[in-house]
Structure 1
Amino acid sequence: MIADDNSFIREGMKIILNTYEEFDVIATVNDGLEAVHFCKNHIVDIALLDVRMPNMNGVEATKLITEQTKTKPLILTTFDDDEYILDAIKNGAKGYLLKNNDPEQIRDAIKSVYNGNTVMQDVVLEKLKANLGEKKPDTKVDKSLFTERELDIMSHIAKGLSNKEMAKQLFISEGTIANYISSILGKTRLEHRTQIAIYFLTGKVN
């Protein structure tokens, strides 16, 4: 299902996605309220939601769709505003993509979300990193599960630092950093550092 208040984008997206045989666009709606209503009354695998819509925006719709249905929300927007990104993820969004992606990238993102993954575009992660700046990000994770050093590593990952940059800041080797990351992945059953960043910021593993 596609929710966007711009009919040109909405119908254009429908035409593009329907060219892929693995997709069936079952509805297009104008706003978040219609999106929530449709998902509650129909079986929808993925809901593509614009952020800025009348009556109810995509972030608010994401929360209700996640709480009340089995539909997986994927934010698809022309805006990469950092003010929305964390709220959308906290509300259960399984991905955050910009509309200027190639159709193939959007297709791959939809398939990835359908298969249980979380999709975050690099530019969106960069916005998160810029928004966090040098301050230590607040974390929603259960701190009792991790050592102080592991929490420190996760904090640096959430700020977008590479292993090399972390090694320089924390005065430990890149190999030791890699070992800590392996330990974190083992404890959380996550697969890569992007998921660690999202988990650290939201407390959610999926």
Structure 2
Amino acid sequence: MRSFLFSLLTLLIISFTGQAQAPKTLRYFMQAPPLPASSIPYGANPKAGNYIKAGDTRIYYEVYGKGDTLVILHGGVVGSPYEMGQFIDSLSKHYQVIAVSTRGHGKSEIGSGAPTYERKAEDVSAIINAVTKDSVTVLGFSDGAYTGYHLAALHPEKVKKLIAIGAGEWKKGFRTFNNTRQVLFSLDSLY
């Protein structure tokens, strides 16, 4: 009888454990379900959009919320304020958020020279001057973080805090990214 009960119990345990499925382990980038998109068309919102003349070009930016000013700088290559939408949604509840389309991205023009980090920093400085007289917090992702580094170095009086996400430390002797216009155009057939 004991061996019968033991066998029955063993079969029950095996049958229940066979039915349970372990949660799928995420193993590579973009396997998780997408987060909900914002209902606001960041980077192309005529209700919040503005342009400023910076050097030889026009730079597009949008302003949301009220409070201390926080500048959001997107990543490079195909970056735009749209990719920073969840940050903007959340932070604009507590801050005045300036979402910048950096030089050569989104609705911003590229200008006549290569979009160096120094130029991008001067563009952001012009936007800060147009929106507020106070120093700001800068949140930059990847390319935007490098622009933030340069902005803080060139205009430390304008940057009270810098949050750099996905960018390394910048040291003298590292490769410069001041590519020619032809190199940049070759990267994007839409130019």
Common fold: TM-score over 0.5: no
- Which one has a larger percent strand, Structure 1 or Structure 2? 2
Q: Which has the higher contact order (CA 8 A, sep 6+)?
A: 2
- Which one has a larger percent helix, Structure 1 or Structure 2? 1
TM-score (norm 2): 0.29
